[in-house]
């Protein structure tokens, strides 16, 4: 199984979870060091190594290779050095107990910072 940390539209109950759902073996809550930015219909993630002031809450999905490939297609990831919309990088949970892949946006310049650590909460609030 392959661990992937999701923090936006791939979360359970969000608009793109159906892309991963057929391949998900388990879902566990988690958090990583980072900050979220508003891209409109989805968030961007900026990693902040070991900055305890900033973290992002999400879920660790355990998927098979097909699930990872389906998420790669959704995120516009074509491989290392490719022309990618999102990059896929290896990350460790803030607990240090889990690690796996996460999709990050290549640049957050000019994007609005999301105050808070949860895309779900932010998105629910702005859609009221």
CA triple 62-50-39, angle to 5 deg:
65
* Cβ–Cβ < 8 Å for 100, 4: yes
Q: By three-state DSSP, how is residue 125 classified? A: helix
Closest of 23, 49, 12, 13 to residue 34, by C-alpha: 49
Q: By three-state DSSP, how is residue 47 classified? A: strand
125 is catalytic: no
Q: Which of 75, 99, 121, 125 is catalytic?
A: 75
Task: Give the whole-angstrom CA distance, residue 19 versus residue 71.
Answer: 7
DSSP secondary structure, 63-76, as one string = E-HHHHHHHHHHHT
- Looking at the annotation, which residues are catalytic? 75
């Amino acid at each position: 199984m392959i661990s992937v940390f999701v923090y936006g539209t791939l979360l359970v109950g969000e608009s793109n979870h159906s892309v991963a759902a057929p391949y998900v073996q388990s879902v566990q809550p988690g958090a990583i060091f980072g900050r979220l930015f508003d891209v409109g219909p989805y968030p961007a993630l900026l990693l902040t190594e070991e900055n305890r002031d900033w973290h992002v809450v999400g879920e660790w999905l355990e998927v098979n290779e097909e699930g990872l490939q389906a998420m790669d297609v959704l995120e516009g990831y074509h491989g290392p050095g490719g022309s990618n919309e999102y990059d896929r990088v290896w990350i460790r949970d803030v607990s240090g107990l889990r690690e796996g892949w996460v999709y990050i946006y290549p640049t957050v310049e000019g994007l609005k910072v999301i105050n808070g650590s949860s895309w779900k909460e932010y998105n629910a609030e702005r859609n009221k």
